Amino acid sequence: MKTIHALLLLAASAALLNACGSNSAASEVPAETAIPVQLQALNAESQALSIPVSGQFTTDDEVFLSFKTDGIIQRILVKEGDAIRQGQTVAILDPTEIDAQLQQAQLAHEKAQRDYQRTNNLYKDSVSTLEQLQNAKTALDIAQQQLRSAQFNRSHAVITAPRNGYVLRKLANEGQQVKSGNSVIQTNGALSGNWLLRVAVSNKEWAAIHLQDSADVEVESVPGKTFRGVVSRRAEGIDPVSGSFMIDIRLAGEKPAAIAFGMFGKANVHTKGAAVATGSVAGPWSIPYDALLDGDDGAGYVFVTNDGKTARKIKVSVAAMEKDKVIISKGLEGAKDLIISGSAYLTDSSSIRVVKP
């Protein structure tokens, strides 16, 4: 009996010793508190990019020509595609009605002159009153202005070319009655070589492209050759038709011999890039979808780190959602690295451990 009791006591003592030994070993291993994450650098200097774009050739001086007054078109002296010179007559209204109105204004003006002269003579003889003289002078002034208006309308019964260029479209025909201001002919100034390639670009491309950026332009009618171009206009608002931002690339230097309004063209725009200070970067930024948290109504949150040890949660502004990335316009200024993996397990000020992909 004593032997059994001694054996039980010995077993209990051994178990207690084993337990104490295990606790000591466990206490020697530090708890794992840093969350493993992957980073994307944000403070690299922006580099020059080559952005491919496409669009149509046009000019920035298209004009829709019209008559000042209503009437019937007597003659259209040009055809679509014709070259025109500044001051050249391109269309004429039937002058019958306009000439009659001008004649009426001239007769009314002559009568007002006679009435004023007669009243003035009578006033000098004290037969007419001052009020009658003043009324006659007012009637003469009104007649003069009516005559000027009729002469102006008569001069604009003829359409002349405002500048050298080409006839793009003929929008009316001879014998057709047109209202005042209705377009009859569309022209442009392409004869002067003012060609430009108008292209649509995305939000990110618009932000990267700046005025005076150079471009290599290709014209389909001149295969195998590129022309030098310069970004001459950068739209400050979105185009409501295409839903994109419009960029104009003006051809500089040699011009293609075979080119027409509306012709398709391609270009590679060479952006200059912008150097930035260490630890700072100017937007916009392109980040993976997984890095954005709680996105709603143009805003969201991301985790960043500047020391590689502590995560910081910040609010950002979302400019656009593209196929495989999110465009951020504000919020990442001053951030060094973006956390792109492990964000779901983080809170603000969480300890992190950087791991390689």
Confidence of residue 207 (pLDDT cuts 50, 70, 90): confident
Instruction: List, in order of start, the domains of the chain with CATH numbers.
Output: 37-45+277-354 (2.40.420.20), 50-60+193-270 (2.40.30.170), 96-155 (1.10.287.470)
Kindly state the tokens that stand for 227.
């022309």
Question: Average of pLDDT values for 210-225?
Answer: 86
* 343, 347, 349, 351: CA torsion to nearest 10: -60
Q: Does residue 28 have a pLDDT over 50?
A: no
Can you give 304-343 as a three-state secondary structure string? EECCCCECEEEEEEEEEECCCCEEEEECCCCCCEEEEECH
- Residue 29: in which H helix or E strand, if any? none
DSSP state of 351: B
Angle at 177 between CA 171 and CA 98, to 5 degrees: 120
Maximum pairwise Cα distance, the chain:
165
The chain-wide mean pLDDT, for the chain, equals 81
Name the pTM for this structure: 0.49
Angle at 164 between CA 161 and CA 166, to 5 degrees: 80
Q: What residues are paired with 300 via a beta bridge?
A: 316
Question: Average of pLDDT values for 284-288?
Answer: 79
Query: What's the pLDDT tens digit per position in 147-174?
Result: 999 999 898 899 998 888 888 889 999 9
* 249, 243, 281, 353: CA torsion to nearest 10: -140
Q: Are residues 311 and 348 in contact, defined by beta-carbon separation less than 8 angstroms? A: yes
The segment with the largest mean pLDDT, out of 38-42, 89-93, 262-266, 322-326, is 89-93
Q: Does residue 132 have a pLDDT over 60?
A: yes
- Residue appearing with tokens 């465009």: 327
Q: Are residues 138 and 131 in contact, defined by beta-carbon separation less than 8 angstroms? A: no
Span of 134-143, 240-249, 315-324 with lowest mean pLDDT = 315-324
State the Cα–Cα distance between residues 183 and 24, nearest whole angstrom.
95
Say if residue 276 is exposed, middle or buried (CB neighbours under 10 Å; 0-12, 13-18, 19+): middle
Question: Average of pLDDT values for 43-63?
Answer: 73
What is the SS3 assignment for 270? strand
